[in-house]
Structure 1
Amino acid sequence: MTFSATVFTGTSLDGCIARPDDDIEWLTSRGEKAGDLGFFEFLDSVDAVIMGRNTYDKVIGFGEENWPYGDRHVGVLSTTLPEGADPRITVYRDMDTLVADLDQRGIKHVYPDGGRLVQTFIRAGRVDRFIISVAPVLIGAGHRLFGELHEDVALRLDAVADLGGGFAQLRYTVEK
């Protein structure tokens, strides 16, 4: 058994997911005009959320009462986060262990979250779909959604939507 993975993220028009200092205020402040961008409907479709260490640190910084993932499986791919650091998560040290555990758990749909983690999933050929909400702003510098690739990743455009507030949402399927 194997799972499918959908990247759901917001970017600036110039492809950044955060400023160099990890700030995302440019996205959240504008996002209020567009609502949740379909995030909670999307989240209802996934069995597991996998994030990188930086994203995990950002999420726990929102406070205990703002944990958005409910009781679904949450994993953190990290070589530095101690195992058992948080009873809500499973810490994975490498991609092979992560994939094997998700398959063993019978996970069908995964949400990989976090810039470097998404890039790891892309390079491993583990992303099946992208849902990218593009904010109406150029921030000029920051963490990019996509990093260097060993080969092209062919995409099929499935839908484009005007979400309001100047946001456009692009939906792509990875052609494998």
Structure 2
Amino acid sequence: MVGVSFHAAAFIATSLDGYIARSDGSIDWLTSRAEHAGETGYDEFLASVDTVVLGRNTYQLALTFNSWPYEGKQVEVLSTTLDPDTDDRILVHRTLDALVETLNDRGAQRIYADGAATIQTFLTAGLLNELTITTAPVLLGTGIPLFGPVPTDIPLTHNATRTLKAGFTQSDYSVTR
């Protein structure tokens, strides 16, 4: 893979047992609680990025929201199955190499990697620089995990942990290279 000219970050919520969604992709357990968490810094984070990278599942979830959550951002979707002509707000990439080439060619500066598969892909490829995880005070027992198997240890540096309202916590990490 070619070198990268961008800084990639993830900002995501999980249940206490590490799931980002139920097995069916539902995030009702989060949306029903999130407003009670207070200020999480998400809006400030989103304002700091110029490009959002999603997988197909996260893209399709975003389509169910009342409004497009990435207005004004360049949105790239990493998918082997999504029709490239599906939505003029996005650009579909079949491979990580093609995505990275496009990001470099466009001069992307700060990338928001969103969704478990995308975050895992960026982590294992050595592309993720920072990770913010907001933990909701709920156990799901099963679902879509944030992290899956990795080929080797990925060392992180813990930068900070904050206590939010309603039992939520938020931790910031830098990926150590």
- Look up the match of 1:129: 130
Structure 1 residues not aligned, in runs of 5+: none
Secondary structure of the corresponding residue to residue 25 of structure 2: coil
How far off is 1:35 after superposition? Answer: 3.2
Q: Which aligned pairs between 1:16-165 and structure 2 lie closer than 5 A?
A: 16-35=19-38, 37-63=40-66, 66-165=67-166
Structure 2: how far apart are the matches of 1:61 and 1:27? 15
Would you say the 8 A contact 1:31–1:37 is kept in 2? no
Any runs of at least 4 consecutive aligned residues in structure 1 with deviations exceeding 6 A, and if so which?
A: none
Q: Please, what TM-score do these two structures have when normalized by structure 1?
A: 0.95
Structure 1: how far apart are the matches of 2:158 and 2:87? 38
Secondary structure of the corresponding residue to residue 91 of structure 1: strand
How far off is 1:36 after superposition? Answer: 5.3
Would you say the 8 A contact 1:132–1:171 is kept in 2? yes
Secondary structure of the corresponding residue to residue 32 of structure 1: helix
How far off is 1:86 after superposition? Answer: 0.6
Letter in 1 for 2:79: S
Letter in 2 for 1:11: T
Structure 2 residues not aligned, in runs of 5+: none
Would you say the 8 A contact 1:160–1:171 is kept in 2? yes
Identity score, percent: 48
